[in-house]
Every structure is written in structure tokens, then in C-alpha cells.
Structure 1
């Protein structure tokens, strides 16, 4: 794209404002910035300083018979409701009188508004009230901006556009665009997800890619004349150029750009109006700051030693009682790790009752440990960390204790500890990496160890020695524990609790598994990212997806779209959760909405990851009418959209023949979804599923198994051979055989109580994802298939993943 941005004069705008003690540009300076940005030309305007008398020749030189007058202050963002925007006849008398009126009335109205909304008071005005506040507001008003009046092509709803950059702590610079105007926040709240606002980190997109995202919004449909009674008022090329300009500005004045003289904190045009195919900014604001030092990069490749250690040391194993350290030791040895490769750090040395050798201190180790586990009280942790660093005692360290950085009182100490870790990373060897603190630990089946401090009697381990090529990591150890306890058939290769990310981060772990040959599915539970680590995480997700891996993602702490705890204006339209979710979806992750869905998607990804996904046409079959209808009712949502396959005539004929043979033709009608009546036996269920799987109009099949029916084999313990699920002609054997030959996803529903949990578990163990209710099954399958297809689109190329490095 032929787009030239003049960075030098833009930087000079920031430099002059900074020299005046400002961290923001005034509106006419924002227009100057736009003029240098290479995109749309800003409207002609004239700054009228409050210290100078308006000059008639200059004021009347602007085109048109009307003038727009706007108050200019570094602190007044919303001008219209304060009387800070006036459209008047362009005569000299009217201009002078209106300027005087605005300079008088706006400080009064803004001071009154601030006293009604103290939470929105700028820091410079806090503690002021009454006349003192009004005088301070008046002092900061620089004058009035006269802007050429340009009548819009349309005054209908939705014909204004907001475009904004926002610096975020987790994802760096984020571009957002959507329905503009004074009701922009309302649109963002009320419209369905993704319809009002599009958002993406600038480091992971370009003008064309962002435009493709923007096309899904109501805003684009209005601007492009795709709604009834509307005409196109802007070209696609104009929008792409505008987005590309903002993206380049975002990447240049970015906290990720080590050469950036300033960082844009917010840059917003709200709105762009449209007149004769010109994009005209009607209001603009820009805040900026000086660059800050970035975190030292951690040697994340050392995670390999953490997950596959040749030697393990433990501090905190009591010689007298069964404490957390003792349980960790028991679990490590029970997982198969060699006792001869374990050392306990305990005063007095000797040999533990388990037969494991002890050393008095880290200095007594003959060579550095691959993994050192710290299971002592939080007050002892800083000293042990210092010992590790001083003695070069370990390549990786696991900090189990909680209470570090979790409370206000401990944050300073945790920050000091993190600083010492970061300083060690400046060493030529990168120093050790630290997992935690407040970390439950790791289960690494390839590494033959388990550091979870859960007694074996309380966590049933799956007897199958084989594990899935799945890694699950989480900030919450309890989340991992509960998911695994409920669904031990997940059998992941790795279960990793990161704790509070004192050192190793979510992005570090994603980078490691992006490159790992041991996993195909990466599942992550996130509560929050470190500074800029969300961007590093998203980039690694995209690279992993492009390499053929599947990523399942759950983000805790959802907030309503369009809301921000710290900002009341429209630059915050893309709320924190919305930005995170949008970013990860664009990077190719499949985003779970519930904890159950997180588990379900992992099983689906592992079961079907090697299958091609050809489309989103579902085949649904059940002996229960409500279940067939329930499947059809759940094929669409805000996150996905499936359809029901039509079935070929050959398939329909075979189904009718089967119904006749089973004497069900008077009770069931061939359709999709197919209700085959509670009298349908296991053979009928399996054969109908087989016919659907073979049909070219079907891309996946969901089958309800009706476990309560008198003609199905659905019980694990039964004296009646008609009900035993291990019957050679029962549904379990039939679906297992069908699963071995199927080239399309097949999921089952066993809707019934605890009596039928053994059947559900047995089906899952045979790689048939099985659900207790039909709506959960179809929703998870639909979300998975939609995500897989989106990921396939990314794999053609991954051009943006290198920008964050």
C-alpha cells in the first residue's frame, strides 16, 4: 500500500506538548497528526486563542456559510453535552459572541459535571470544588477551535465511525473501530458480540486483515450501503488505508519499539463523518507518555529441564510429619522418578526414611539440579532463592508456597524477589527459571514425576499408562486439580500450575509448547497476563496453530464490552475481556465459554485433531424427541454457526429401509435431526450414525443413546445380559468399531444419572467424546468445528507473528 507517514513532525508535536508539561495533544494538534499520517485529510480549521481577538479575515476564510466552534482544553474530552461544540452562521459578530459565551459557560458546566461525577475527575482537579474548580478549568482552556462545517452525506443511525488506538498493559497497542458518535458506548454494550466493535493488537494485524475483521460489524454494513435504504458513503480502500495508518502509528509509537521517542497511550477519532466520499474527523484526542524499560526476557527454553529433569531436589520435606513436602516426595517417587536422582535439602544431611539422600545445604550439591522444588513457608523463600542464585544450584526452580505477592503486605517483597530473578537472567547463561510462586506444581508424564501435594488417596489416577499428546497449563492449580479429578480420562502429558508468574509467564510456557514435539493440543486457563505477555502469548498461539497444533483457551474475569474501570470515554470501547477474547480467536485459539466446555474441547481436540474438518453440517440422531430437537436448537450462537445437513436420497432410502426392517417406519420419519423412537435398539442407533457419517452432506454426527430405553445395553453392573454395556452386540462395541473407521467427528450423548456414568467414561476412553446432555454436546462440537475451520484459514500464512519479537 502506498502510504507515507511523516514520523518526524508527529514526534515534534509530542515533543512540544511534553515540553509544555502536557501528556496530551490538543484537538488541532490531533488534526495535524492525522495530516502527517498519510490517511484522510483533516478538515480546515483555525485555532482562536483566548488571549487574542479573532481575526475577521482568517475566520471568514474557511469555506461554507456555517462554522463549527469547539472548546480546546487538555482535560475536557466530552464537549458536546457541556456546550463545548456549537454550529453557528459564519458571521464575524456571531463568531465573537459565541466564543465569549463558550469561554464563560463551559468552565461552569464542566465544574458542575465534575462535582456530580467525582470518579471521572482528572487528577489535576481532584480536591477542588466550587469557584476554585471553575477557575482551574477556565485557566486550562486554551481557546476555541473554528472548524469548517461539512454536512454529512447521511444523518441516519450508524453512519459515523469511531477509530481508536489504545495502549493496553497485556496486549500492547490495540486498534478498535465501530459505530461512532455520542452513543458509541451504548452500541458496544447492546449489540451482539463483534457486531459493534472490531479490535485487534496492531502487532498482529495489518490494514487488510483488520478490515476483514471489521466487515463483520454493523458499522461496516451501514457505511457500505448494505442495509435497506442506505447507500455506500465510503470505499473499502479508504477504510483499509485508515486502518493501516493507525496500525503503523501504533507499531511505531509502541512500548515494543525500543526506538520510540514517545508511546501513544490513546489516539481516538470519534467520529469520522462522511461527506462526498471524504472521511472527515469531527473530534479527536491523543494521550502519550515517555517509553519505559521492558521486562528482561526469560530463558524459556530451560522449561525443558523443568519438565524433563534428570535430577530433582526438594526443600521442605519434614523428617517428623507428613507435610506438603513429604507428600510431594511420595508423589514424585510414585510417578516413577528414580530415588537415586532425588536430593532433599535438610539440615544434618543423611538419608531420609524413603531412602533418598539428603544434603545440608544447596552449597553441598555436587552439581546443579535440573529442578529444585521449594516447599517451605513463604518467609523462607527469599533466602532459598538467593542461595540458588549464589550457588548456581539449579537450572529451574518450582516455588510452591502461597502468600507471595498475593496480599498488599507481601507485594513489595515479591517485587524485590522478581527483580533478583530478572537480574540473574542478564547473566550469559540466562540463569535459572522459576515457576510460581503460589504454584501447585507439575505433573509431567514424559518426565516421570508429580509434584502435586495432593495425597494419592484423594486423586484417582487413571490406570492406563498411555497419555494423550495434550499439555494443560493454568494460573490456578485448583482449576487444574478439579478438571483432572472430574475427567481423569483426559490423561494429559503435562499438567502445569504457573501460580502468580513471579518469573515464568503464560507466554513463556506457550512458546515452549509451540515448539514441543510431545504435544498436539495445548489448553490454557488464564486469569491475567504480565505486562505485554498477552501479546507474546497470542503470537505464540498463532505460530502453534500455523504449525498444526490446536489451542484451547479459557479467560477468567470477564467484563462487559464497552466498559472500563479507569476510563469513561470511547477509547475503551474494546473492553479488556473483549480484546483478549478477540485477540486469541484471531490467533487461532478455540475459546471456551465455561469450565465444562474447556474440558469438552480438550477431548474433542485430542479425538479429532488428525481428522479433516470439511464444513459445519451436522447430522443428529436420537431415540428421544426432545433430544433431537435440542440438538437442532443449539447449532448457532454468537460464537459459531452450524447447519443441519440435508441428507442425500441414497441415505434417506437406506434409513427408510432400516426403519421398515426394525418395524419403526410407522413411528419415525426420516429427517435431520432424526428421532428414531425410544423403541430403537443399539443396532439401529449405530447404523443410523454410520449412514450419516457416510453421507457427503454431513460433516459431523451427534448421536443420543437413550440409556434408559429397555432395548439398549447401557449398564456396567447388571445381572440381565440385555442391559450389560459390555455385550458384544451392544452400543459400546458398535460405536467403538464405527469410531475406528470414521473419517468425521462422532460424539455421543448419554443423558441419564450416575448409573450411566460408566458408559460415558467407557465411550470417552475409546476416543468417542461423550456428553451428559445434548445441548452441551452440540455446542461444544459446533464451537470446535468452527474453530478448526478458522485455524485452517490461518495456516495458509502467518505473516504477523514475528512483529512482537
Structure 2
């Protein structure tokens, strides 16, 4: 058995009695149950090494226990708990009572509970119909009470173990939950009956933390838990509080739960059962013992897994040697015709393009062929026909092995209830093809806006060329933008023309290829250093596959920027316990992806900012989060200081050495500003500071060992700054050799540290901002936004660095 006392940072020495746990599940299953009773949960806890499950004794309904049986539980008091497969939250319905350990009082409370609980639970169900168990559907009044009474299995006598403290925050919840997208997830935080209130009222990650059990271990999870209010309370770090549990006890508990979750997991092909939900709420603490006071467990049988997709064939999608297009009109401008024009406009050779259209020789100088397999196998087939025709096209492509990759443009394949059945038939056909020796073709879409692959030399977006964002005309950057929504990508690139990724990939409905598949391929693509992903949802277990790919990309030295839409109310019907409502779907996604090593944006604007920083600063060294800040206006200096702390991300204002201070002093004296400008951080150079002063101060900061990054807030409206897009004969022209633009570009080229600019002002100064961006210098219109974005970015770079130093931690 797994002994907590002998356990030392559990990864290598922990032993869990999986045989006993499997027997517990098997016994419950043989009785027609997919849930455990509380006393069975305590047996599971014993089998994973818990040292302090309370002594319990089940008094079945209809039995007449003797005084000796009633007195078999030690202590002066005893806890009575109702036992029912349908009642999870017992306290709300009078299902928990504490009485003196006397036979008469125990019998009285036991009998009262057997009668009162059905009445109270029936009233609770009628007031909360959405939470009613399926077993009681359509029942009400006395019929409901009778059904509840029949389900009562008896009363559990439980040893009363008073906690060391009844103070707020001294109870712990630990839960395992099977999620559709990420598999098994562990969460821990403030427990008790008010756990959900704590999670709602405290800032994110202060009351509860969550992590994928496949991406963490006990030590890593404990390091996250140390940031919570719960740990602060348990460790005695608040006024008037004493430590009530050791770090080792918490670490051991977390590691044991991770091992339990990973064994009874849908990702374990040998799992005899799958844990859907396992929760201890709360753990209380008595004399440095972790005492589980309540627990639940739901489980299910293993399910058959789908065949893996041949991800390597994405190469044919992004670097096709031949392209076929289906759905091109010979007489009018339709989606297929626009796609053809865009492919050719990007410079893709006509002789390597085929139009699948019977009865036509050529369109726009491109050869037409009567069927998909009439001219040999295609690397990529673009299907721009109505959704109703797609099932037949998919059948033909698979049957004739006509293409390695297929792009499904049309919508109407799973987005609506009406098209769901059609989508399921297509998915089944594609999955069947993946069982073949070569895996069959891969499909992207449906509802795909297309792909722009600059390394592949093509553009299959169905946006007319004169409406297409001109990003393709800029200098390509070693980045990929992967978006589940084509419109999100189109609008974003239109608003932020300085973003210029090598790949712009619209995923659509993920009928076949998923977000996880695409990042799995791009992590090894030699044209990509940065992967930016906009997600609306993951397919089954693809969130876990996505996180694994993110982690591997980070280990390979790449950066991943992530934004997930859809922060609605989560987890309300996903669980019977507290775990899902505390660590809901969005929180789990955000936690797991950040844990894998991605920088996670909270808003669309943040996503664009972080993507820009990653594109332009990837090659810069990041050693810490100490900032040097420069402004030309007092309000900017204040706003930069105010933006240093953005929740869980923050920077520090760097101190300056005597050498740097002397350098600043000499510069200010030379410019006759020593009486106006204080040497501080942020440093306000005032509107009198010219181009040279701004850049030379930035240079000193970048050379300073105590500074990790610099934000240079320009003052384009200053009477001395050369910031206008005018002829070089104009003394204010940004094109002059000594202008702020020329000097900043030179400085950014020489420096190994991140240099970020801010340039406030209206459209008159937009050319300056665009020129800085084109030169690879990230520039923001406001200084506070620059600092806030840089704080998140630096923190992510440091997290990625720690992952690479500490290993992947993926199981």
C-alpha cells in the first residue's frame, strides 16, 4: 500500500492499490451503479494512501442494529449521513446530523432522517427542477417522496473528527473531473459548502486552480496551488493563523490524485473503468491530519477510440505540388472562381492547377478535367460546391484515392441542427478511411474560408483580391495564424496590417483536421517560430492533444499565442459535485493551455497585441521582467507605472546602476534639461526631449544589466521630434537620417533585448507607426497598452524558458 509517511515527492515512490480500487468499481457496477457511496469513496482514499479516512459503518435500511454496532464508532460524538445514489449534497436536505454517541440519540436521529430527507429532497427538487436526477423525471408530490424513500440505502455512521480551526478558508476541496476536451483535470482550492461562492468572489486562480493531469505532476500542481488564498490560509500566512497542514501532505495528495486520474482515464488504453468525477469536499485538518469529510465518485466504462488522422499529410495542404479546384463557374464570379483567381494572383503556376469541371476545356487559362481522378492524384483538392453535394464528393475522393488533402469551403455541415446528420455521415466516412494503410486523405473544414500559404505560394481565400487585406504585400514573418473562424482572421488582419504571418489557416468546423492536428504539424514546420491560435471549441480530447503540441512547440523554442472565445456560464450540468462549477470549461481550457506553455489572451485586442509582440520579438533575449520606461509626457510616465501589474502578470521597474545614472546625467546636461528632468524610472523626458535624447536614453537602459526590456514612448506632437511623413527637406520629416525613426530602427537592430515603442497621436502620425512596425519594432498607440501587453509577453517567455529548463512533464 501507498504510505504517506514514506512518500517523498511522490513521482517515483508512490504506490496505489489499483486492484482494490478496480474491485470497488466492479462491485458497484455489478449492482447496476455507476457511482460510489461515501464509504466506498473512503475505501478508494485508503487505496491511494490517505492516512486519515474516518471510521465508518453502514446501517442498511430495514435493519435493527444493536447497541454495540451503534457504538462501534470511536469518539464522544458521531456523524450520521444519509446514503442514496441520487442525493449528492446531503446538508441541504437534512441528510447530515451530528449527535452525542449514545444509542438512543443515534436511533432517534437515524429514524428521523429516513422520514424527513425524502420530504425535504422532494421540495428541493421541485424548487430546482433543472438539477433533478433523471430517475425522478415527471414525478412530484407524494410519488416523488416515495421514489426518493425507496432509493435510501440506509444511514452511514461516521467518526466525528473536529477540525483544528473553524475559521474561513480552512477547508480544502480536491476534485478530479473527466472533461470532453482535455481528459482528466485536477482542481483544488477553498472548500466547504461555500466553495462556489469563494470561487465566484475571488479573482481567478486565487480560490481554485486546475490542471490537466497528463501535463503535470504533484510538484508542478503544488507550485500552482501555492498561489491560492487556500494555501495562504492552510500554511498559516494570514494574521492570527497557524499552519495546519504540511507542504509534503498537500504535494502527496495531489500526486496521488494525478496517478489515480491518469490510470482511470480515457487516454489509458488499459483502463478497466473511467473516472468521470471524483471529489473530496472538504478535507478538514485535525492535528496535522488531512481528514476527508465528504466524497463522491462517478465512473463509466471505457469507450472505443477513433482512428488517428495522418497529420503528416498536412504538408500536402500547406505545400501542394498540385491543386485541384471544384466548383469554379465558367460564366460568373462565384466562390470557386474567386478562389481560382486568388491562387493564380499569388503566383501559383497555372500548369499545376486543375479545375474539376466536365464539358469545359479551360477557365482563365487553367485546364479543366472531368473528374477528380482524371489526371492523377492531387496534393490538394479545394471543394467549393454546395453542402448537399459534399457527401458524394467525399465518397468519390476516398474511393478513388484522388487527393492527399481536401479543403471543404462550404458551410452547412454541422453548424445547424438540420445539417448535423449530413456532417455525421461525412465524418464517419472520413474516419473509416483513416483506418486504411496510408490513413486516407485529410480534410480541413467544412465552413473553411481557405488558406494563405506564403511558403506554399498560394491563396485559396474566397475574398476578392481588391478586398483582401494587403498583408501578403508586406515582409513575411515566421509565424502562423490558425483560426477556427475565418471572419475573425480576416477582420483581424484587416485592422492590423502589420501582422504578416507565413500561414493564415482557416480551420472551419474541424470535421476532420483539428486545432490539435494543425499545431502538431506546425511545431515542426521550419517556416514557423510563432503560432497564434483563435479557438471556439475543441473536439473530443483534442484540447489535450492541442496542449501536448503546444508543449512540444515550446520545448522546440517556438511561441504559441492563444485566445478562446465563449466565456459563458460553465459546468452547471456537467457534474453533480462542485468541481465543474468551480473549474468550469473556460477556466480549464485557459489553465491547461497556459500550463502547456502558451501565452493566453483575455480579449481579442490582447490577442492581436501578443501576436505582434511574438512576431517581432521572438529572436530577442528575455532574462527577466525588469522594465526600463521612457516617456515625453508626464501622463504617459504615470500610465506606464500604473500598467505594470495586470492581474497574474506583472513587471518591475528596474533600478539603475551608478554607471547608467551618470550616463543619463551627462545626456541631460548636454541637452540642457538637467534642471527639468529627474533621473527616475519611468523617465519623463518632457516635450523638450529631442529624437537623439529619447534613443540615447533607451540605449543606456538596454545596455544596463538590471533592465530586461524597454518601452520607449515617443512624443510625435513634440515641437522637436521628427515624426511627420514628409519630404526630407522638412526638418520634422521622419525620413531624415537623424530622425526618431532612423535612430530607433538602428537601436532595435543592435539590441538583443526587447524594445517596444508607443506613439500616441492621430492619423497624422500613422505612417510613423507603420514604418516602425514594418521594421520589426512593435509599436502601440498608447504607452499603458504597450506596458500591459509586454508584461504578459515577458511572463510567457519566462514560463516557456522554465519549461525548457525543467523538462516537458507530459505523461
Give the TM-score category using the shorter length.
over 0.9
1:139-176: CA deviation from partner (whole Å, max 9, x where unpaired): 11111110111111111111111001000000001000
Aligned to 2:101: 90
Aligned residue for 1:224? Answer: 235
How far off is 1:657 after superposition?
2.3
Residue 203 of structure 1 aligns to a residue in which SS? coil
Decide which of 483, 487, 502 is 2:496's aligned counterpart: 487
**Counterpart of 1:571?**
579
Q: How far apart are 1:718 and its partner, in Å? A: 6.3
> Offset of 1:732 from its aligned partner?
0.3
Matches within 5 A, 1:419-458: 419-458=428-467
Whole-angstrom distance in 1 between the partners of 2:341 and 2:809: 46
Partners of 2:82 and 2:155 within 8 A in 1: yes
1:208-255 CA-partner distances (Å, limit 9, x unpaired)? 221111111111121122222222211222112211111111111111
1:780 is aligned, of 763, 786, 789, to 789
Match of 1:188 among 196, 199, 202: 199
Shift of 1:667: 2.3
1:61 positional shift: 2.1
Distance in 1, Cα, partners of 2:571 & 2:654:
40
Instruction: Tell whether the 8 Å contact from 1:39 to 1:241 is kept in structure 2 after alignment.
Output: no
Contact 2:688-2:720 at 8 Å conserved across structures: yes
The unaligned stretches of length 5 or more in structure 1 are: none
**Aligned residue for 2:7?**
none
Aligned to 1:503: 512
1:464: Cα distance to partner? Answer: 4.9
Q: Distance in 2 between matches of 1:443 and 1:223?
A: 53
- Whole-angstrom distance in 1 between the partners of 2:465 and 2:471: 12
Which of these residues, 368, 372, 394, is aligned with residue 362 of structure 1? 372
Measure the CA separation in 1 of the matches of 2:571 and 2:273.
Answer: 27
- For 1:127 and 1:720, how far apart are their aligned partners in 2? 85
Q: Which among 285, 300, 306 is matched to residue 289 of structure 1? A: 300
Instruction: Quote how far apart the aligned CAs of 1:461 are.
Output: 2.2
Measured after TM superposition, the shift of residue 611 of structure 1 is 2.0
**What's 1:29 paired with?**
40
Native 8 Å contact 1:346 1:358 kept in 2:
yes
Report deviation, 1:423.
Answer: 0.2
Secondary structure at 1:104 match in 2:
helix
Q: Give the alignment of 1:164-203 within 5 angstroms.
A: 164-203=175-214
Greater mean deviation of Cα atoms: 477-486 or 437-446:
477-486
Question: Displacement, 1:596?
Answer: 2.1
Over residues 462-499 of structure 1, what are the superposed CA-to-partner deviations in whole Å (9 max), with x where a residue is unaligned?
47564111011110011111122222322211010000
Give, in whole Å, the separation in 1 of the partners of 2:533 and 2:807.
21
Please, which of 739, 742, 757 is the counterpart of residue 748 of structure 2? 739
Q: Kindly report the root-mean-square deviation, in angstroms, between the aligned alpha carbons of the 2 structures.
A: 1.4
Task: Report matched runs for 1:107-126 at 5 Å.
Answer: 107-126=118-137
Deviations 1:409-454 (A, max 9, x none): 1001101100100000000010000000000110000100000011
TM superposition shift of 1:390? 1.1
Asked if 1:245 is matched to 2:245, the reply is no
Correspondence for 1:602 among 586, 594, 611: 611
Q: Residues 645 and 166 of structure 1: is their aligned pair in 2 closer, same or farther, counting only changes over 3 Å?
A: same
Deviations 1:262-284 (A, max 9, x none): 11110000001111121111000
State the distance in 2 between where 1:160 and 1:598 align.
37
CA contact (8 A) 1:559 1:575 kept: no
Q: Is the 8 A contact 1:705 1:748 kept in 2?
A: yes
Comparing 405-414 with 288-297, greater Cα deviation is found at 288-297
Q: Which stretch has the larger CA shift, 147-156 or 30-39?
A: 30-39
**Which among 281, 285, 288 is matched to residue 274 of structure 1?**
285
Deviates more, 1:174-183 or 1:356-365: 356-365
Cα distance in 1 for partners of 2:717, 2:248 equals 60
Q: How far off is 1:21 after superposition?
A: 1.9
Q: Tell me whether 233-242 or 779-788 shows the greater mean CA deviation.
A: 233-242
Aligned to 1:313: 324
Partner of 2:4: none
The equivalent residue for 2:149 is: 138
Equivalent position to 2:699, from 682, 690, 705: 690
2:29 alignment partner, one of 18, 42, 51 = 18
Q: Look up the SS of the partner of 1:204 in the other structure.
A: coil
How many equivalent pairs are there?
799
> Greater shift after overlay, 35-44 or 671-680?
35-44
Alignment partner of 1:55 out of 66, 76, 80:
66
Whether the aligned pair in 2 keeps the contact of 1:253 and 1:263 (CA below 8 Å) is yes
Which residue of 799, 803, 807 maps to 1:790? 799
Q: Classify 1:118/1:381 alpha carbon distance in 2 versus 1 (closer, same or farther; 3 Å).
A: same
Q: Which residue of 2 aligns with 1:664?
A: 673
Where does the alignment leave 5 or more consecutive residues of structure 2 unmatched?
Answer: 1-9
Match of residue 645 from structure 1: 654
Q: CA deviation at 1:4?
A: 2.1
Cα deviations by residue, 1:485-529 (Å, 9 ceiling, x for unpaired): 222322211010000000000110011011222211111111100
Alignment of 1:732-771 (within 5 A): 732-771=741-780
Output the CA distance in 2 between the equivalents of 1:18 and 1:190: 39
Q: TM-score, normalised by structure 1?
A: 0.97
What's the offset of the Cα at 1:38?
Answer: 2.1
Q: Indicate the SS of the match to 2:14.
A: coil
CA offset digits 1:664-714 (Å, max 9, x no partner)? 223221111111111211111111111211122211111111111221111
Provide, for residues 649-670 of structure 1, a one-character-per-residue CA deviation record: whole Å limited to 9, x for no partner. Answer: 2222222222222222232211
How many angstroms does 1:55 deviate by?
A: 2.2
**After superposition, what is the alpha-carbon deviation per residue over 1:359-417, rounded to whole angstroms, capped at 9, x for unaligned?**
1112422x110000001111111111111011110000000001110000100110110
SS at match of 2:306: coil
- Distance in 1 (CA, whole Å) between partners of 2:279 and 2:512 is 35
CA contact (8 A) 1:559 1:576 kept: no
CA shift, 1:261, in A, is 1.7
Q: In structure 2, how many angstroms separate the alpha carbons of the residues matched to 1:738 and 1:257?
A: 53
Q: TM-score, normalised by structure 2?
A: 0.97
Structure 2 counterpart of 1:512, from 499, 505, 521: 521
Structure 1: distance between partners of 2:374 and 2:727:
61
In structure 2, C-alpha distance between the alignment counterparts of 1:414 and 1:800, rounded to whole Å: 37
Is residue 351 of structure 2 the alignment partner of residue 340 of structure 1?
yes
Give, in whole Å, the separation in 2 of the partners of 1:270 and 1:98: 23
Deviation sequence 1:72-120 (CA, Å, 0-9, x none): 1111111112211111000000000000011111111111011011111
Contact 2:532 2:561 in 1 (8 A): yes
On the 8 A contact 2:727/2:735 being kept in 1, the answer is no
Cα distance, 1:720 vs structure 2? 6.8
Q: Distance in 2 between matches of 1:102 and 1:378?
A: 59
Aligned equivalent of 1:213: 224
* Cα separation, partners in 2 of 1:252 and 1:775, compared to 1, 3 Å: same
Contact 2:279 2:577 in 1 (8 A): no
- Cα deviation per residue 1:549-569 (whole Å; 9 max; x = unaligned)? 111111111246x85354463
Structure 1 position 40, deviation (Å):
3.1
User: Partners in 2 of 1:3 and 1:792 — Cα distance?
Assistant: 29
Residue 304 of structure 1 aligns to a residue in which SS?
Answer: helix
